[in-house]
């Protein structure tokens, strides 16, 4: 048996990777499990994406390796999207880097900026990949707590007390997953001032834009951001293309160039038809997004009823594609409780601990199932409660 590298001893298999195997085993036993766990959209992109993909796949010239920086058509569409939805101008040739999803971007950025032993600020609760990738890079994750009493915003006063000169990079994620918080512009201004003073890089991971009404947030809307910030975006959630694996990084040319030095040694570009289809999707008009938001708004109401039935409290104005709720005090162990719900109601709900200790008393319901399925989950949970 060959010994694994020490760096992987510090990370475990992604929670969902194990849980999905368990759910699949239960389904094979004939149990009809409703999975309200993972945030993988059940909806499709617009038919134009499929037509574009199919059309491009028929071209003999589509099957070779692609450029490391994506085709101009895609980069132009991304730059157009950043301008239209966030009011930000980026040079499509130098300030945009298409990615195979933002998850891979988290790795590339870490490899590009973080040395072994460096300290990296990660949110707790937060997307687990920030921490695991930091550990894979043999760097040290330093958690900053988000708290419901502070509307899940970044506690700037707490950050100011940390030895920020030791920090190399900070992961920020607004609209926030898992809490649904939209973030505070005042706090971002203060945060950017801190990053400029103490010389650390902020990366806003922003895959949940477009799913709520009103102004869409980009960290680049905050003055001074370009000097110290990068932003990840993704078509996974906002355009129902999670399995297509496509996203991008935007920021100053010098930063993008550093990330490209890593990325161009890791992969060999994206399938051309996927790039062409994504370019089309990025040009969808307001009606398309409005319809998408309408679907999630209706689903959110049912998911909130599930939360209420379970006795959980939650903020009604959350953004994104989840409902995040606090479990009642009567629940002793949340993981045991969610396993019990899985066993009795055959509904899988994510226990909040997977997002960090600050999520221990919370659960997360995904809105990536139809209203009918969510209503069926609600019925099962109502019945379970009265048994
Ligand atoms: C906060 C956050 N960042 C990044 C990702 C990964 O997105 P992508 O599909 O673009 O890799 C997810 C997916 O769940 C997420 O919740």
The CATH number of the domain where 214 resides is what? 3.40.640.10
Q: Which token pair is 367?
A: 């809105």
Helical H segments across the chain, by residue range: 6-9, 15-28, 47-57, 72-86, 102-113, 128-136, 156-160, 185-198, 225-228, 235-238, 253-263, 272-281, 286-309, 334-345, 371-386
Alpha-carbon distance of 96 to 78, in angstroms, equals 8
Q: What is the residue with the minimal CA distance to atom 14 of ligand 1? A: 39
What is the 8-class DSSP label of residue 321? S
Let me know if residue 1 belongs to a domain.
Answer: no
Let me know if residue 81 belongs to a domain.
Answer: yes
Nearest atom of ligand 1 to the alpha carbon of 173? 1
Element (H, E) at 2: none
Pocket-forming residues, ligand 1, beta carbon under 6 Å: 39, 101-103, 127, 173, 177, 205, 207, 234, 236, 242, 247
pLDDT at position 213: 87
Distance 102 CA to ligand 1 centre (A): 6
pLDDT at position 19: 85
Distance 101 CA to ligand 1 centre (A): 7
Place of tokens 């370019």: 279
Final residue belonging to a domain, choices 265, 281, 297: 281
Same domain for 142 and 264, yes or no, is yes
Distance 8 CA to ligand 1 centre (A): 21
Same domain for 27 and 116, yes or no, is no
Nearest atom of ligand 1 to the alpha carbon of 234? 10
Torsion angle in degrees (nearest 10) through CA of 309, 311, 313, 316: 10
Phi, psi of 160 (to 5 degrees): -60, -25
Same domain for 184 and 307, yes or no, is no
Same domain for 241 and 129, yes or no, is yes
pLDDT at position 214: 87
Same domain for 155 and 198, yes or no, is yes
Nearest atom of ligand 1 to the alpha carbon of 39? 14
Let me know if residue 56 belongs to a domain.
Answer: no
Distance 108 CA to ligand 1 centre (A): 14
CATH code of the domain containing 29: 3.90.1150.10
Distance 103 CA to ligand 1 centre (A): 6
**DSSP assignment string, 116-162:** TT-EEEEEES--HHHHHHHHHTT-EEEEEE--GGGTT---HHHHHTS
pLDDT at position 336: 94
Query: The whole model's pTM is what?
Result: 0.96
Under DSSP, is residue 234 helix (H, G, I), strand (E, B) or coil? strand
Under DSSP, is residue 322 helix (H, G, I), strand (E, B) or coil? strand
Let me know if residue 184 belongs to a domain.
Answer: yes
Count structural domains, the chain: 2
Q: Which of 114, 107, 326 is nearest to 205 (CA)?
A: 107
Q: Which of 190, 254, 233, 193 is nearest to 88 (CA)?
A: 233
Same domain for 108 and 253, yes or no, is yes
Same domain for 357 and 262, yes or no, is no
Final residue belonging to a domain, choices 281, 301, 318: 281
Domain residues for the domain of 29 are: 6-44+286-386
Distance 314 CA to ligand 1 centre (A): 22
Let me know if residue 50 belongs to a domain.
Answer: no
In degrees, rounded to 5, the angle at the alpha carbon of residue 342 between the alpha carbons of residues 336 and 348 is 105
Q: Which of 297, 241, 237 is nearest to 44 (CA)?
A: 241
Q: Which token pair is 230?
A: 């990068």
Let me know if residue 106 belongs to a domain.
Answer: yes
In terms of DSSP bridges, do strands 201-205 and 167-172 run parallel, antiparallel, or are they unpaired? parallel
Alpha-carbon distance of 250 to 282, in angstroms, equals 15
Same domain for 124 and 245, yes or no, is yes
Same domain for 69 and 180, yes or no, is yes
Measured from the Cβ of residue 57, the count of other Cβ atoms closer than 10 Å reads 15
Alpha-carbon distance of 141 to 119, in angstroms, equals 6
pLDDT at position 14: 74
Same domain for 249 and 103, yes or no, is yes
Tens-binned pLDDT, residue by residue, of the chain (387 aa): 999 999 888 888 777 788 889 899 999 999 999 999 989 999 999 999 999 999 999 999 999 999 999 999 999 999 999 999 999 999 999 999 999 999 999 999 999 999 999 999 999 999 999 999 999 999 999 999 999 999 999 999 999 999 999 999 999 999 999 999 999 999 999 999 999 999 999 999 999 999 998 889 999 999 999 999 999 999 999 999 999 999 999 999 999 999 999 999 999 999 999 999 999 999 999 999 999 999 999 999 999 999 999 999 999 999 999 999 999 999 999 999 999 999 999 999 999 999 999 999 999 999 999 999 999 999 999 998 554
Let me know if residue 326 belongs to a domain.
Answer: yes
Q: Which of 97, 80, 98 is nearest to 89 (CA)?
A: 80
Alpha-carbon distance of 111 to 109, in angstroms, equals 5
Same domain for 248 and 328, yes or no, is no
Let me know if residue 55 belongs to a domain.
Answer: no
Residues 6+ apart with CB under 8 A from 37: 16, 19, 20, 23, 348, 349, 350, 366
Same domain for 190 and 253, yes or no, is yes
Final residue belonging to a domain, choices 246, 281, 316: 281
Alpha-carbon distance of 95 to 15, in angstroms, equals 34
């Amino acid at each position: 048996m060959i010994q694994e590298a020490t760096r992987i001893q510090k990370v475990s298999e992604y929670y969902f990777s194990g849980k999905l195997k368990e759910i699949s085993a239960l389904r094979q036993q004939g149990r009809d499990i409703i999975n309200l766990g993972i945030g993988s959209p059940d909806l499709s992109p617009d038919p134009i994406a499929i037509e574009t993909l199919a059309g491009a796949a028929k071209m003999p010239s589509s099957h070779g390796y692609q450029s490391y920086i994506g085709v101009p058509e895609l980069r132009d569409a991304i730059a157009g999207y950043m301008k239209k939805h966030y009011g930000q101008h980026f040079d499509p040739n130098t300030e945009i880097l298409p990615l195979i999803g933002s998850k891979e971007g988290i790795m590339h950025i870490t490899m590009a900026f973080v040395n072994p032993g460096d300290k990296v600020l990660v949110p707790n609760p937060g997307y687990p990949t920030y921490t695991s990738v930091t550990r894979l890079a043999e760097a040290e994750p330093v958690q900053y707590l988000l708290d419901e009493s502070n509307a899940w915003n970044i506690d700037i006063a707490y950050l100011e007390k940390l030895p920020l000169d030791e920090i190399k990079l900070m992961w920020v994620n607004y609209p926030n997953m898992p809490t649904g918080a939209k973030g505070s512009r005042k706090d971002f201004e203060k945060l950017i001032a801190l990053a400029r003073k103490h010389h650390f890089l902020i990366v806003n991971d922003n895959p949940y834009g477009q799913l709520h009404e009103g102004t869409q947030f980009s960290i680049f809307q905050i003055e001074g951001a370009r000097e110290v910030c990068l932003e990840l975006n993704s078509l996974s959630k906002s355009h129902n293309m999670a399995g297509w694996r496509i996203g991008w990084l935007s920021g100053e040319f010098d930063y993008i160039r550093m990330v490209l030095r890593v990325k161009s040694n890791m992969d060999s570009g994206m399938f051309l038809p996927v790039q062409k289809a994504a370019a089309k999707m990025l040009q969808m008009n307001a009606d398309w997004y409005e319809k998408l938001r309408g679907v999630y708004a209706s689903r959110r109401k049912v998911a909130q009823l599930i939360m209420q039935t379970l006795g959980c409290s939650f903020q009604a104005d959350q953004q994104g594609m989840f409902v995040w709720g606090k479990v009642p005090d009567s629940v002793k162990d949340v993981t045991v409780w969610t396993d019990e719900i899985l066993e009795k109601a055959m509904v899988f709900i994510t226990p909040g601990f997977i997002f960090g200790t600050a999520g221990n008393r919370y659960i997360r319901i995904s809105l990536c199932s139809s209203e009918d399925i969510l209503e069926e989950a609600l019925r099962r949970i109502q019945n379970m409660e009265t048994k």
